[in-house]
Structure 1
Amino acid sequence: MSPTTETLTAERILEATEEVLRRHGPAKATVVDVARALGVSHGSVYRHFRTKAALREAVTQRWLDRASGRLAGIAARDSDPETRLRDWLSALFEAKRHKAGDDPELFATFSVLTGENSQVVDQHIADLLGQLTEILRDGVARGVFALDPAVTARAVFDATGRFHDPFYAREWGRPGIQAEFDAVVDLLLRGLRATGGPSKTS
C-alpha cells in the first residue's frame, strides 16, 4: 500500500533520500525523486523538510551520527581510561572503514554532502571531541593522564585524522593499515600517561 501523508515520517523520508542518493548521486537526486520513491507528492516531503537543502542537511546528519551511539557508549563506560580511549579510537576507525568499504558509492556521495553542510560537520566533530574529552578528563581524575583534557582531545583527534578523515579513505583497505593505526595509538598513549602513572605495557 502506498504511504499516506499521515503515515509518512521524517525517518522514512530520510531512508528514501539515502536510497535515491545511492542511485542518482548528489548532483542529480531531487525531492521529486524522493517523493516518487515513497509514492507521495513532493509537497508531502516539503511538509517535513521545508527545502531541498534542509533535507540534504538532515540526511547528512543522520549519516554522520550513525556510529555516534556506540562511541558515546564507549566514552561513558566506567572502565580503565587507556582501554576506553583505545576502544573509542578503534570504533571510530572501524565505523569509517566500513562506510567506505561496504558502500563506496554512498560514501562518495556523502563526502560531497558533508562539504555542503559544514555546520553539520562542525557539530558532529564537536560531539566527538566532547566524548574524547570525557574519556581524558576521567583519565586525569584517576591519575592515568596528565594533560589538559579539552586541548588534548583536539590533539588526539587531529593526530589520528588519517584513520577517520574521508580524505584518507583510499588508504583504509591497504595491507598493514591496522598495524599502523595501532602504532599511532600506542605512541599517543605513551605521551598521555602521567609521570609515574600506571602503564599497560609495564
Structure 2
Amino acid sequence: MTPPEATAPVGETGRMTDTSGLSPERILDVAEETIRRYGPTKATVVDVARALGVSHGSVYRYYPSKVALRDAVAERWLARVSTPLGEIAGSAEPAPARLRRWLRELSGTKRRMAREDPELFDTFHRIATAARGVVTGHLDILAGQLALIVADGVAAGDLVADDADRAGRTLLQATARFHHPAHVAEWADPALDDDFTAVIDVLLRGLGAR
C-alpha cells in the first residue's frame, strides 16, 4: 500500500501534484523563505504549498495549522543557537572556562545573526516571540545547559552553588543584555565587549570560581 506522503493528490488547480520529495525539513526550508518574502503575518500555508508545487493539504499532513508551521520554523531557528551550545556544555573543559566560553558563544551567535541579516533576525525574533511555548522550551534548554556546567564545576570543586538549576537560570537572566533580542539596539555599543567581560567576571566570582 502506498504511504500517504508518496501519493500525488489533486492540487488547487485540478492537476496532480507530486509529493514524493516532500518532507518536514523541505517544508520548513520553503516556509522560511516564504516568511522572509511576505513577512510573518502575511505568509500563509497556501503560499508555502504554492512554492513547493503541492496542495496546501499536503503541507497540512505534516503541520496541521499555520500556527504549527510557524512554531516549527521558530523551533528550528532557535535550535541553530542551542545545538552548538550543547556541545560546549557537554565538553570536558574545566567548568569556569566552559561557562565563559558558553556565554560568549551565545552572545556572539545572536549578535552575528543580527549584524549579518538584521531584517531576517527581526523576522524570526517576531515569529519566536509569538511562539511562546517554543521560546519557553528554548530557554529551558539553555538554562539546563548552564546548570550542567555549574553542576560539573561544583562536583570538581571549581564552583560553589547550592542549586545548580537555579544558578543556571540566574546566569541566563543576568546576561540577557548580551543575547536577548530585546537589547539588539545596544549591541553596536563599542563598550559592549568590555561590559560583557566585567559581568562574566562578577558572576564567576559569585560562584566562587577558582
Match of 1:92 in 2: 106
Match of 1:168 in 2: 183
Match of 2:151 in 1: 137
Q: Equivalences for 1:96-107 in 2 at 5 Å?
A: 96-107=110-121
> Which stretch of the first structure deviates more once superposed, 37-46 or 64-73?
37-46
Q: Equivalences for 1:73-92 in 2 at 5 Å?
A: 73-92=87-106
The SS at the match of 2:103 is: helix
- Name the CA distance, whole Å, in 2 between partners of 1:39 and 1:177: 46
Alignment TM-score, normalising by the size of structure 2: 0.88
Match of 1:26 in 2: 40
Match of 1:11 in 2: 25
After TM superposition, which residue ranges in structure 1, 4 or more long, deviate above 4 angstroms? none
Instruction: Indicate conservation of the 8 Å contact 1:21/1:106, yes or no.
Output: no
For 1:36, which of 23, 26, 50 is the aligned residue?
50
The SS at the match of 2:61 is: helix
Q: Equivalences for 1:47-58 in 2 at 5 Å?
A: 47-58=61-72
**1:143-184 deviations in whole A, cap 9, x for unaligned?**
111112111111111110101111001111221211111111
- Name the CA distance, whole Å, in 1 between partners of 2:111 and 2:149: 23
Question: How big is the shift at 1:107?
Answer: 1.4
- Name the CA distance, whole Å, in 1 between partners of 2:179 and 2:18: 40
- Name the CA distance, whole Å, in 2 between partners of 1:174 and 1:15: 33
Match of 1:185 in 2: 200
Match of 1:149 in 2: 164
Letter in 1 for 2:25: E
The SS at the match of 1:78 is: coil
Query: How many residues align structurally?
Result: 193
The SS at the match of 1:77 is: coil
- Name the CA distance, whole Å, in 2 between partners of 1:18 and 1:168: 24
Match of 2:131 in 1: 117
Letter in 1 for 2:174: A
**1:42-68 deviations in whole A, cap 9, x for unaligned?**
121111111111101100100111122
Higher RCO (C-alpha 8 Å, min separation 6): 1
Alignment TM-score, normalising by the size of structure 1: 0.91
The SS at the match of 1:48 is: coil
Q: Which runs of 5+ in 1 are unaligned?
A: none
Match of 2:8 in 1: none
**1:108-144 deviations in whole A, cap 9, x for unaligned?**
1122212221111111000111100000000001111
CA-based RMSD of the aligned residues comes to: 1.3
- Name the CA distance, whole Å, in 1 between partners of 2:96 and 2:133: 31
Q: Which one has a bigger Cα radius of gyration?
A: 2
Question: How big is the shift at 1:9?
Answer: 0.7
- Name the CA distance, whole Å, in 2 between partners of 1:4 and 1:132: 45
The SS at the match of 1:135 is: helix
- Name the CA distance, whole Å, in 2 between partners of 1:95 and 1:63: 12
Match of 2:81 in 1: 67
Q: Which runs of 5+ in 2 are unaligned?
A: 1-16
